[in-house]
Chains A and B, each alone.
Chain A
Amino acid sequence: MKKPLILLFFLLLPVAASAHRLWFLPAATVLSGEDAWVTFDAAVSNDIFYFNHFPLKTNQIQAISPTGKAVELKNTSEGKHRSTFDLHLEQEGTYKVYVARSGLRARWEDDEGKRHSWPRRGEVPKPGDFEKAVPQKAKNLEVSQTSRRVETFVTAGAPSTDVFKTSGEGLELKPLTHPNDLYAGEEAKFQFLIDGEPAAGAKFTAVPGGMRYRNEQKSIEAKADKKGVVTITWPSAAMYWVEVEYQDSKAKAPATTRSGSYIATLEVLPQ
Chain B
Amino acid sequence: MLVNTWVKRFIPLGILLVSLTAAVTQAEPDTSSSHSSRLEIEIPKLSVAEYHRPYIAAWVTNNESKAITNLALWYQIDDDRKGEKWLKDLRQWWRKSGRKLDMPVDGFTGATRAVGQHTIALDTLTLKPGSYTLFVEASREVGGREVLQIPFNWPVKKEQTLKAEGASELGDIALTLIPKP
**Chains A and B are bound partners:** yes
Interface residues of A (CB under 8 A from B): 30-34, 36, 155, 157-159, 181, 183, 269-271
Question: CA separation between A33 and B86, bound complex, in Å?
Answer: 7
Chain B residue nearest in CB terms to A157: B99
Secondary structure at the A interface, as helix, strand, loop or mixed, is loop
Q: In the complex the two chains form, is A270's CB within 8 Å of B99's CB?
A: no
Binds A, one of B9-17, B26-34, B88-96: B88-96
Chain A residue with the shortest CB-CB distance to B94: A32
Contact call B91/A270, Cβ cutoff below 8 A: yes
In the assembled complex, the CB of A153 is this many whole angstroms from the nearest CB of chain B, namely 14
Beyond contacts A31-B85, A31-B88, A33-B85: 16 other A-B pairs, Cβ-Cβ < 8 A, are A30-B94, A30-B99, A32-B86, A32-B87, A32-B88, A32-B103, A33-B82, A33-B84, A33-B86, A34-B81, A34-B84, A36-B85, A158-B100, A181-B95, A269-B91, A271-B92
A33 proximity list for chain B (CB < 8 A): 81-88, 103
Asked if B166 is an interface residue, CB under 8 A from chain A, the answer is: no
Q: Say whether A30 contacts B88, CB under 8 Å.
A: yes
A32 touches B98 (CB 8 A): yes
18 contacting pairs across A/B (C-beta < 8 A): A30-B94, A30-B99, A32-B84, A32-B86, A32-B88, A32-B98, A32-B99, A33-B83, A33-B84, A33-B85, A33-B87, A33-B88, A36-B85, A157-B99, A158-B99, A159-B99, A270-B91, A271-B92
Q: Most B CB atoms within 10 A — which of A157, A158, A271?
A: A157
Instruction: Say which size band chain B's interface belongs to.
Output: 10 to 19
CB-CB under 8 A from A158, the residues of chain B are 99-100
Please indicate the chain B residues that have their CB under 8 angstroms from the CB of A34 in the complex.
81, 84
Contact status B85-A32, CB under 8 Å: yes
Chain B residues near A31 (CB, 8 Å)? 85, 88
**Using Cβ atoms and an 8 Å threshold, which residues of chain A touch B82?**
33
User: Separation in Å of the B82 CB from the closest CB of chain A?
Assistant: 7
B87 / chain A contacts, CB cutoff of 8 Å:
32-33
**Binary CB contact string for chain B from 65 to 86 against chain A (1 if under 8 A, 0 otherwise):** 0000000000000000111111
Q: How far is the CB of B132 from chain A (nearest CB, A)?
A: 19
Q: Chain B residues with Cβ under 8 A from A157's Cβ?
A: 99
By beta carbon, the residue of chain A nearest B84 is: A33
Query: CB-nearest residue of chain B relative to A29?
Result: B88
Cα separation A269 to B99 with both chains bound (whole Å):
15
B83 contacts which chain A residues (CB < 8 A)? 33
Give A77 to B150 CA distance when docked, in angstroms: 49
